[in-house]
Structure 1
Amino acid sequence: MVVIVRMLAGRVLALVPLLLGVILFVFIVMRFSPTDPALAAFEGANVSQEQLEAFREANGLNDPLPLQYVHFVWQLLQGDFGTSVITKQPVGETITTALPLTVQLTLMGLVIALVVALVLGITSALFRDRWPDQLIRLVSLAGVAAPAFWVALLLVQWLAVGEGLFPTSGYVSMNDSFSGWLNSMALPAIALAMPVAAQLTRIIRTSMVEELDKDYVRTARGGGLPPVVVVGRNVLRNALVNPLTVLGLRVGYLLGGAVVIETMFALPGMGQNMIQAVKDGDTAKVQGFVITIALGFVLVNLIVDLLYLLANPRLRSHA
């Protein structure tokens, strides 16, 4: 346990400069964007140059960039993401409202991707070089090449427009109707999950094949242990260690892909709100949304690192 805590503390400390770098990158990009927060705040109304300068002075936009960055980071450390120049509401309130939906969509996509990848990856490895393996490898290769938005278009055309099984867009809150919520989230989650499921299928298949070729598997089978016991108790557990190393990156892909998928299905999550903020020139909202998504990506990778430490005793013993 002491080893795990020490290694986890090292991971946390290493993430601090990464987060500061992400914040700096977002800050610089937004400051050099062609959007003028002062003009956006007045919504294109006829205002004098004096009013614009007064707004910039009151909001620190005329301060040197290093000072603006320090002030921005200090606000973030206090949990203050700034105030929207359009709605005049704190950005944190909008994030609190939109983030749960994005988390729901990401988790649903992750669960679907893991279930599909485990079933197909294990099946492909157990039937190595036979027709189920060849078919699964072909399907997974096509899935890797297919972007989430293209999969979403196909699903909408087939299951929503063609069969009428799901709505084409819109969102139903879980509090209003669980079945309606599940119905509105199904297609976006499947579209988001399929490319990730295809990637994980290939990784799990490769890891399983390598594990099945090891001496202890042949010894266990020669000793009379049922294949189900050998695969379920030893092979699968050892084979899933390597896929854990890439799981964090795949979850990051799900978070990023949710931005596009939410917009396509008109889901009021982080992605839909961020696209609208970009259209409105609301720099405070864009900064808040991007930093929140980046923070989520970093936290997910931290959790995956911890899971990897727990699943790999050899790594702990050499720490």
Structure 2
Amino acid sequence: MPAVLRIVLRRVALLVPLLLGIVLFAFLVMRFSDADPASAFFQGANPTPGQLHEFRERNGLLDPLPVRYVHFVGDLLHGDLGTSTLTRAAVADQIVTALPLTLQLAFLGLGLAVVLSLAGGVTAAVYRDRWPDQAVRAVSLVGVAAPGFWLALLMIQYLAVAKGWFPAGGYVNPADSVTGWLRTMALPALALSLPVAAQLTRVVRTSVVEELDKDYVRTAFGGGLPPRVVVGRNVLRNALVNPLTVLGLRIGHLLGGAVVIETVFALPGMGKLMIDAVQNGDPAVVQGVVLTTATGFVVVNLVIDLLHLVINPRLRTA
């Protein structure tokens, strides 16, 4: 069996206990929370104790905890995330409806963060200790300190309300209008990406500076190779290992930040779904959103881990 395939299979095998841990954590957190599915189901009414008991018995809420966990895992294996206590709709259907928008926002934010960090980090490294470097470092420091929701509110106030360049909220499906979709997603994606881009910029700068100080770079410059070739083909490829690791860790920030950004811009994604579920006391929906988000985080980190094998051949021969 090739070494690369063995590494990939080993990484995938490690996902199994991790995913089981996520499932157990989500199950226990919701079972020990104050949310009562029976009370939420009869919200707005005055149920009798007998009606509450009947609901709990019918839905298995009175079973021992290990039995409920086995049933929960069995339902998950069949793709069943449960049923909303309030709407009686399948949680999986609600997530399938809301997830595409969150993925669009997360990938747009990720793409912007990568582009901005590469442009800023490489520029700062090439012009080390000169004014472009100082400017990039100052801007990135502000970006790291500024929370995403605050940036989102500033963008709404200045770019949407004062200038009218972008809508202050809402969502346009790309199937209806690509231009409208870009206008509604531009500010949320930018607000989501800036804190991540600021941190990545500093990591990219440090990695590129370390690579530029190595002997093979000086040899390449001494051989007459132009800087764009040396930096683009050699330096950047070798310097991307550390930024990729940090990017994998920041995926959680992108997914978690998307919840807040969607709420600020009134986007009907996973964030709004979760906030509404928390406010209305719908634990099944909260649990489904947590499981989906955590699983997505784990899978994306696996992809980042495998990208290390592509960028750094030494990992494949270690």
Q: Does 1:198 align with 2:198?
A: yes
- TM-fit CA distance, 1:237: 1.0
- Residue 264 of structure 1: aligned partner: 264
Give the Cα–Cα distance (whole angstroms) in 1 for the partners of residues 41 and 153 of structure 2: 36
The question of 1:283 aligning with 2:283 is answered yes
Which string of whole-angstrom CA distances, capped at 9 and with x for unpartnered residues, describes residues 224-259 of structure 1? 111111111111111112211122112221011000
Determine if the alignment matches structure 1 residue 53 to structure 2 residue 53: yes
Alpha-carbon distance in structure 2 between the residues aligned to 1:233 and 1:195? 28
Q: Percentage identity across aligned positions?
A: 66
Q: Could you say what secondary structure the match of 1:8 adopts?
A: helix
* Aligned twin of 1:41: 41
Cα distance in 2 for residues equivalent to 1:2 and 1:258: 39
| Runs of 4+, deviation exceeding 3 Å | none
Give how far 1:295 is off. Answer: 0.4
Structure 2: which amino acid aligns with 1:299?
V
Whole-Å separation in 2 of the counterparts to 1:239 and 1:167: 39
C-alpha distance in 2 between matches for 1:120 and 1:92: 40
Letter in 1 for 2:50: E
1:249 match: 249
Q: Tell me how far apart the structure 2 counterparts of residues 22 and 147 of structure 1 sit (CA, whole Å).
A: 27
Once the two structures are superposed, the pairs formed by residues 199-218 of structure 1 within 5 Å of their partners are 199-218=199-218
Partners of 1:269 and 1:287 in 2: how far apart?
Answer: 16
Letter in 2 for 1:61: L
Counterpart residue type for residue 49 of structure 1: P
1: distance between equivalents of 2:208 and 2:305? Answer: 21
Range 29-38 or range 192-201, more displaced: 29-38
Q: Which amino acid aligns with 1:87?
A: T
1-structure distance, mates of 2:246, 2:9:
21
Is 1:298 the counterpart of 2:314 in the alignment?
Answer: no
Paired with 2:314 and 2:58, the residues of 1 have a C-alpha distance of 57
The residue aligned with 1:19 is 19
1:167 aligns with 2:167: yes
User: Match of 1:128, SS?
Assistant: coil
Corresponding residue for 1:70? 70
**Alignment RMSD (CA, Å):** 1.0
In structure 2, C-alpha distance between the alignment counterparts of 1:280 and 1:97, rounded to whole Å: 19
Compute the displacement of 1:2 (Å): 2.0
Letter in 2 for 1:250: R
The corresponding residue for 2:317 is: 317
State the alpha-carbon separation in 1 of the partners of residues 94 and 238 from structure 2: 43
User: What TM-score do the two structures reach when normalised by structure 2?
Assistant: 0.98
- Distance in 2, Cα, partners of 1:5 & 1:49: 58
Aligned length: 318
Q: Secondary structure at the match of 1:224?
A: coil
**Secondary structure, aligned partner of 2:134:** helix
TM-score by length of 1: 0.98
Give per-residue Cα distances to partners, 1:151-191, cap 9 Å, x unaligned. 11111111011111111111111111111111111100000
The offset of 1:28, in angstroms, is: 1.4
* Residues in 1 aligned to 2:294 and 2:200: alpha-carbon distance in whole angstroms: 22
In structure 2, how many angstroms separate the alpha carbons of the residues matched to 1:304 and 1:184? 29
Q: Hey, what's the Cα distance between the residues in 2 that align with 1:210 and 1:129?
A: 14
What is the Cα deviation at residue 5 of structure 1? 1.7
Distance of 1:7 and 1:147 partners within structure 2: 38
What amino acid is aligned across from residue 123 of structure 2 in structure 1? T
- Deviates most, 153-162 or 7-16: 7-16
User: C-alpha distance in 1, partners of 2:44/2:27?
Assistant: 24
Cα distance between partner residues in 2 of 1:230 and 1:90: 55
User: Residue 164 of structure 2 aligns to a residue in which SS?
Assistant: coil
1:191-215 per-position Cα deviation (integer Å, ceiling 9, x unaligned)? 0000000011001000000000000
- In the TM superposition, what is the alpha-carbon distance from 1:25 to its structure 2 partner? 1.5
The gaps in structure 1 that reach 5 residues or longer are none
